[in-house]
Structure 1
């Protein structure tokens, strides 16, 4: 290392230490307007370094901006965080999230009456394979949903009045409602021996 380089590193270390000492002084923190005074105090001491062998390193030592400890935002020691602190939790900062309804078209009702606009069949998603009977129903509140027709056989047709309840079909995307068998125009499943109450069988 060259003698001038050694001298430069020593002087730069001393000047940086002096700058941090000025920035960490209590009077500097108490008066943020002291930044120009600190700059005027340090910059004259840095000017002789411009004659050394590495003047391009001088730009790293000059205080062109206000020191971090003098900025108004530096007085806040705790940064903004998305997680609530323990004191904030004790004060009730966490609000319970509203649970989303799985049957929003029913408007918090158990069942809704509707009119069938279309009765058709559809195929389930993989790996299942079948022909499922569904109907597009316009409910009494004006909302249109796709409802599944459970059981074997049905007598539904267009303009039939049905009763719709909630309940999805796992392998039919978009079908989140069931039509109740044995209510209004939809008849129950004949000759049903098990689970008769679910299919409207007498």
Structure 2
């Protein structure tokens, strides 16, 4: 993972926390980014993840990658750091489901806002993050190509009690990365 740069970059302050329960995107289209869970097949997930990785890396090459579009809103760089870390979390969660062999597993909580502050996303080097995000999406795509047949139905619970299967976790993950692509290009 990228280390913060050594150049002095002022802390822009925290982004506005997102404490919404986004599990509703598993049952209906997102009015913002257009994601529709009914149109995504499990077999398409690896290609969608690889495409997203390329698009984030390309966005990091733009001049305004470090610029926050408004107070409390992450810059494209910060979003790219976030989705890089989301890839690791969602890959780990899928691996946990598969290791559970069909038994219900429970995911540990992950605080995305604490991670962003701790890792100082705003100080990261966009060129380094572009490489990291591409690698993270490739790792995730490889993992999401593994499940087959009934493994997609194997269950899990999030720490807040939301239930998932490997299949709905894949949809939730794809929405998250697509939505943040919308965030950095809208």
TM-score normalised per structure 1: 0.21
Question: Between Structure 1 and Structure 2, whose CA radius of gyration is higher?
Answer: 1
| Relative contact order higher in (CA < 8 Å, ≥ 6 apart) | 2
TM-score normalised per structure 2: 0.22
- Structure richer in helix, relative to its length: 2
